[in-house]
């Protein structure tokens, strides 16, 4: 009996892996993922420089100070870059003017010299200097540069509004007349409200400048003001088994969220492979191929062979994905030139986590066997794919629960909801994979696994009874009452 089951499994496996569409389907997933990452990075580089202008109703130096504050982080980054890149001729003028050849923080005059140099450069020329933020993405254009000769603020705003409407400007700011008293007359005018990077960054810079002015006007000592404004930051630490604490690294955070990504791929793999089994069963039944096969093997042997053959097909798919994941974890950080402490490096280090990969393989196989038993029974009872699709709707609805709850469980891997779902066998593979970042207690792994395997055995027996009767039936699909009757047969 085992020999015939193995022959059926071998036939199912070879029938799938010999097709070009199977390998195309396998390789398309990592190719699409790489494409999404690559295109996202490319689009970020191709993002157009946002040109903006500013009107200062107060007529003072708020605009100049706001610009310096807005680009202060860039000035410090450029200072460090110029000191580091001694062989770059483009930065030679900056080194000569600002003296950016030593370590340490630049003085106020040196920062001003750096900002003056940055202001004379084209934003596109600064794009290659990845350490820059505002100066690479945003370009300030004065009203004089725009050719606006009007001096009346209302007329200037009207002309700037026309430039925004035509797309010549991304936005313009209106700085209030007396920010020491009120900021109610500050304005931001744009026709694009999906990209708020310019607005939020510039508002932060204006806030810092206005706060400094108000502190000075109130005659508060700078040290006292800094003490009052000091933000409370609770340093994140993680507890160990001995009650001690350790620093939280980026890889620790990524490691706890990684199971969410694994669950999504687990969901796709189980759904895709189990659906393959369903389609295969319905097609062979409608084409009468199953009748030919049943002349040589029993219904139980045929069902088990089909399930295990498709399981081997799915494991081949998962194995290829794991190889791609490991290859990406070893090569991509080097190709991108990312450091060991970066978020990207943490993600790819997680891909090499053997515990996650073994859990993924176990829960894929167990989840597939559980859902495969249900779907192969449905396929045996149906004559067309349309009939099968109607009967699989409850199964699809059940499969949506772990997908919809994966973020919630990722946030509370040891919460009440996660624990309850872990003990429902049809959700166990997804929920326990999702909780791997917790992680659950060892007894929960053992208990849920035993329950899951017992459920698979019972489901397989029930599916065998349905398959034995339904696979040879033709005509109208059986009703639920009839299927339940088959289950009661010995």
Residue 7 lies in a domain: no
Q: Where are the alpha helices (DSSP H) in 288-353?
A: 289-293, 299-336, 343-350
Same domain assignment for residues 182 and 284? no
**pTM reported for the whole predicted model:** 0.62
Q: Is the separation of the CB atoms in 95 and 104 below 8 Å? A: no
Same domain assignment for residues 139 and 220? yes
Residue 456 lies in a domain: yes
* Domain endpoint, select from 235, 261, 292: 235
* Domain endpoint, select from 235, 267, 300: 235
Burial environment of residue 329 by CB neighbours within 10 A (0 to 12, 13 to 18, 19 or more): middle
Residue 371 lies in a domain: yes
Q: Is 245 helix (H, G, I), strand (E, B) or coil?
A: strand
Reported as a pLDDT band with limits 50, 70 and 90, residue 343 is very low
Same domain assignment for residues 286 and 419? yes
Segment 383-410 shows an average pLDDT of: 81
pLDDT digit string (tens) for 105-162? 666 677 777 777 766 666 556 655 555 666 667 888 888 888 888 888 899 999 999 9
Residue 68 lies in a domain: yes
Of 55-69, 235-249, 404-418, minimum mean pLDDT range: 235-249
Reported as a pLDDT band with limits 50, 70 and 90, residue 99 is low
Residue 148 lies in a domain: yes
d(CA 22, CA 16): 6
Reported as a pLDDT band with limits 50, 70 and 90, residue 423 is very high
Q: How many Cβ atoms sit within 10 Å of the Cβ of residue 382?
A: 24
* Domain endpoint, select from 235, 270, 287: 235
pLDDT digit string (tens) for 269-304? 787 787 877 887 877 777 777 777 777 778 788 888
pLDDT at 162: 92
pLDDT at 265 over 90: no
Residue range(s) defining the domain that contains residue 167: 49-235
Same domain assignment for residues 120 and 160? yes
Cis, bond preceding 48 (omega within 30 deg of 0): no
Token couple for 427 = 């959700």
Segment 299-319 shows an average pLDDT of: 82
pLDDT at 431 over 80: yes
d(CA 10, CA 4): 10
pLDDT at 347 over 70: no
Of 60-64, 252-256, 269-273, minimum mean pLDDT range: 252-256
Reported as a pLDDT band with limits 50, 70 and 90, residue 341 is very low
Same domain assignment for residues 155 and 252? no
Same domain assignment for residues 442 and 482? yes
Residue 197 lies in a domain: yes
Residue 9 lies in a domain: no
pLDDT at 367: 86
pLDDT at 88: 67
Cα 178 from chain centroid (whole Å): 44
pLDDT at 356: 74
User: Which residue would you say has higher pLDDT here, 228 or 84?
Assistant: 228
Reported as a pLDDT band with limits 50, 70 and 90, residue 339 is very low
How many domains, the chain?
2
Segment 438-456 shows an average pLDDT of: 90
pLDDT at 276: 79
Give me the half-sphere count of Cα atoms (radius 13 Å) on the Cβ side of residue 135.
27
pLDDT at 340: 46
pLDDT at 472 over 80: no
Same domain assignment for residues 316 and 433? yes
pLDDT at 250: 59
Residue 216 lies in a domain: yes
Same domain assignment for residues 412 and 268? yes
Same domain assignment for residues 383 and 455? yes
d(CA 177, CA 203): 16
- Residues linked to residue 247 through DSSP beta bridges, in sequence order: 237
Same domain assignment for residues 282 and 371? yes
User: Which residue would you say has higher pLDDT here, 351 or 198?
Assistant: 198
User: Which residue would you say has higher pLDDT here, 125 or 315?
Assistant: 315
3-state SS of 353-396?
Answer: CHHHHHHHHHHHHHHHHHHHHHHHHHHHHCCCHHHHHHHHHHHH
Same domain assignment for residues 164 and 285? no
d(CA 234, CA 237): 9
d(CA 226, CA 215): 10
Strand pairing category for 171-175 and 50-56: parallel
Q: What is the DSSP letter of 100?
A: T
Contacts of residue 481, defined as CB under 8 A and 6 or more positions apart, other chains included, come to: none
Token couple for 110 = 């040196």
Same domain assignment for residues 137 and 264? no
Segment 376-400 shows an average pLDDT of: 79
Q: Is the separation of the CB atoms in 440 and 422 below 8 Å? A: yes
Segment 214-218 shows an average pLDDT of: 88
Residue 431's nearest CA partner among 198, 219, 182, 259 is 259
């Amino acid at each position: 009996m085992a020999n015939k089951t193995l022959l059926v499994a071998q036939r199912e496996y070879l029938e799938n892996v010999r097709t070009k569409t199977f390998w195309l389907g396998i390789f398309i997933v990592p190719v699409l993922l790489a494409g999404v990452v690559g295109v996202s990075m490319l689009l970020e580089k191709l993002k157009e420089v946002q040109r903006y202008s500013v009107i200062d109703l107060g007529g003072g130096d708020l605009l100049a100070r706001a610009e310096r504050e807005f680009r202060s982080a860039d000035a410090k980054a450029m200072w460090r870059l110029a000191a580091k890149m001694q062989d770059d001729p483009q930065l030679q003028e900056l080194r000569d003017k600002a003296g950016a050849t030593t370590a340490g923080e630049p003085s106020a005059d040196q920062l001003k010299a750096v900002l003056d140099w940055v202001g004379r450069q084209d934003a596109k020329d600064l794009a290659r200097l990845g350490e820059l933020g505002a100066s690479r993405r945003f370009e300030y254009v004065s009203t004089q540069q725009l050719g606006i000769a009007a001096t009346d603020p209302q007329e200037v705003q009207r002309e700037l509004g026309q430039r925004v409407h035509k797309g010549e400007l991304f936005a313009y700011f209106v700085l209030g007349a007396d920010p020491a008293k009120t900021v109610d007359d500050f304005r931001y005018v744009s026709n694009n409200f999906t990209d708020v990077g310019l607005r939020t960054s510039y508002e932060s810079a204006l806030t810092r400048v206005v706060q400094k002015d108000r502190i000075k006007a109130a005659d508060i000592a700078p040290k006292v003001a800094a003490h009052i404004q000091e933000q409370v930051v609770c340093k994140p630490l993680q507890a160990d088994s001995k009650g001690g604490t350790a620093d939280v690294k980026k890889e620790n955070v990524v490691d706890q969220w990684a199971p969410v990504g694994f669950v999504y791929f687990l969901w796709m793999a189980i759904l895709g492979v189990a659906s393959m089994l369903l389609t295969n069963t319905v097609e062979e039944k409608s084409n009468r191929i199953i009748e030919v096969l049943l002349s040589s093997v029993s219904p139980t042997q045929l069902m088990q062979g089909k399930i295990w053959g498709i399981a081997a097909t799915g494991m081949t798919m998962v194995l290829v994905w794991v190889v791609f994941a490991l290859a990406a974890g070893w090569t991509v950080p080097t190709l991108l030139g990312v450091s060991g402490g970066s978020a990207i490096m943490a993600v790819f280090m997680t891909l090499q986590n053997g515990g996650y990969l073994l859990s993924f393989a176990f829960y894929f196989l167990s989840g597939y066997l559980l859902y495969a038993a249900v779907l192969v029974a449905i396929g045996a009872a149906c004559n067309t794919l349309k009939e099968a699709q109607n009967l699989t709707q409850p199964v699809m609805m059940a499969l949506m629960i772990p997908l919809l709850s994966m973020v919630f469980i990722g946030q509370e891997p040891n919460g009440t909801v996660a624990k309850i779902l872990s003990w429902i066998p049809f959700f166990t593979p997804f929920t326990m994979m999702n909780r791997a970042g917790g992680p659950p207690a060892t007894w929960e792994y053992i208990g849920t696994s035993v329950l899951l395997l017992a459920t698979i055995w019972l489901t397989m027996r029930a599916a065998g009874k349905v398959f034995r009767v339904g696979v040879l039936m033709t005509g109208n699909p059986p009703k639920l009452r009839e299927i339940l009757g088959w289950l009661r047969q010995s």
